[in-house]
Amino acid sequence: MHAYHMPTFDAQPSLVQIDCPPPQEGQIQVQIFACGLNFADLLMQKSTYQDTPEPPFTLGMEISGVVTALGAQVRGFSLGDRVAVFCGHGGLAEFGVFDARHAIKIPEKMSFEDAAAFQISYGTGHVALHHCARLQPNETLLVTGAAGGAGLTAVEIGKQMGARVIAQARGKEKLAIAQAAGADHLIDADEDLREVVKSLGGADVVYDVVGGDLWTAAFRATNPGGRLLPIGFASGDVPQIPANHLLVKNLTVIGVYIGGYLKSHPEIIHASMSSLLEWYVQGRLTPHISHILPLEQVADGMELLRSRKSTGKVVITMPVHST
């Protein structure tokens, strides 16, 4: 099969032919139809992601497709089931073998593209806002990087939870996408985020995917008793958090990494996915996919993420893809 393979950290990934192993106990084999790209795929290529496997390995963290083989002791899945898998790696290939505990069945009305774009972005947003921050109706949610894969879903989920959403992004086009997802107030990159947010009454919850100076500005615009969620550091600058300021304003900073929840508390992920898929079926969530590219153009997809020219998600489809 073809796979977008990482031979070593000193070499560029490329499309190669590799064998697909049969599923072992507790695993399912999936014919992959689509794979969602994530910023973490770029970090893995530099070995700077917290969950990077040792090379050689195939990139691609989340997939959708059809079950083609079952390992021993697998329960709850049958051949031909339509599934999505939060696999961590191995998704940019025509077939994959994955832990069945990380797979979910997807609704018939859900396209494979939507399914491949769903788990990490929506899962992170829902776990962060619902389970961690306990976002309440009528609270103010500030989302930075609000047109990207992680930020845009937080805007959408925040509105579904009844919050007033302030969205920060760069440029009118990206802000319009955040507005279409439900944002009530928009902040462009050249505006003073702290001053604008404070003029709107401050933020009760901050969902920050950028880090750096934006984190600092958001931190200073958070209301007493607020909760801050450091989701990622797209700026490349991991901010330091002044503990004395947390004390004075009774702030709470909550780290969120759903890959960690999948290992330590998978029931939280499963409950979140159940709620999110129900919202999707009800038409309350609409994944925004700016680019759908074939497997042979996966390097172009990675560059869209690297250059921040995509909005929402970039999805790669396999040669056999058919919905």
Question: What is the average pLDDT score of the chain?
Answer: 95
Q: What beta strand segments (E) does the chain contain?
A: 2-6, 14-17, 27-36, 57-58, 62-70, 82-86, 95-99, 103-105, 140-143, 164-169, 185-188, 203-208, 222-230, 252-253, 289-294, 313-317
**Cα gap 206→232, rounded to integer Å:** 12
- pLDDT tens for each residue of 270-306: 999 999 999 999 999 999 999 999 999 999 999 999 9
Domains of the chain in start order, with CATH, are 2-118+287-317 (3.90.180.10), 121-259 (3.40.50.720)
Which range, of 24-28, 99-103, 290-294, 319-323, averages the lowest pLDDT? 319-323
> Is the confidence at residue 322, as pLDDT, over 50?
no
Q: Mean pLDDT throughout 231-236?
A: 89
* Pick from 54, 3, 284: nearest CA to 159: 284
pTM over 0.75: yes
Query: Helices in 11-145 by DSSP H: which ranges?
Result: 39-45, 112-116, 119-126
The answer to whether the beta carbons of residues 103 and 28 sit under 8 Å apart is yes
- pLDDT tens for each residue of 5-23: 999 998 999 999 999 889 9
160-177 core/surface letters (b: 16 or more CB in 10 A; e: else):
bbebbbbbbbeeeebbeb
- pLDDT tens for each residue of 237-275: 998 899 999 999 999 999 999 989 988 999 999 999 999
Q: Mean pLDDT throughout 143-170?
A: 97
* Pick from 145, 144, 141, 168: nearest CA to 157: 141
**The amino acid at 34:** A
The position carrying tokens 């929840």 is: 261
**Cα gap 228→154, rounded to integer Å:** 13
State what percent of residues in the chain have pLDDT above 70: 99
Between residues 31 and 320, the one the model is more confident about: 31
Distance of CA 60 to the CA centre of its chain: 12
- pLDDT tens for each residue of 72-112: 999 999 999 999 999 999 999 999 999 999 999 999 999 99
**The amino acid at 99:** D
- pLDDT tens for each residue of 162-198: 999 999 999 999 999 999 999 999 999 999 999 999 9
CB atoms within 10 A of CB 319: 9
- pLDDT tens for each residue of 101-127: 999 999 999 999 999 999 999 999 999
CA–CA–CA angle 296, 300, 302 (5° rounding): 110
**Cα gap 122→249, rounded to integer Å:** 30
pLDDT for position 234: 87
Helix (H, G, I), strand (E, B) or coil at 15: strand
CB atoms within 10 A of CB 297: 15
Q: Could you tell me the pLDDT band of residue 323, with boundaries at 50, 70 and 90?
A: very low
Pairing of strands 62-70, 82-86: antiparallel
Q: Could you tell me the pLDDT band of residue 314, with boundaries at 50, 70 and 90?
A: very high
State what percent of residues in the chain have pLDDT above 90: 93
**Cα gap 102→62, rounded to integer Å:** 10
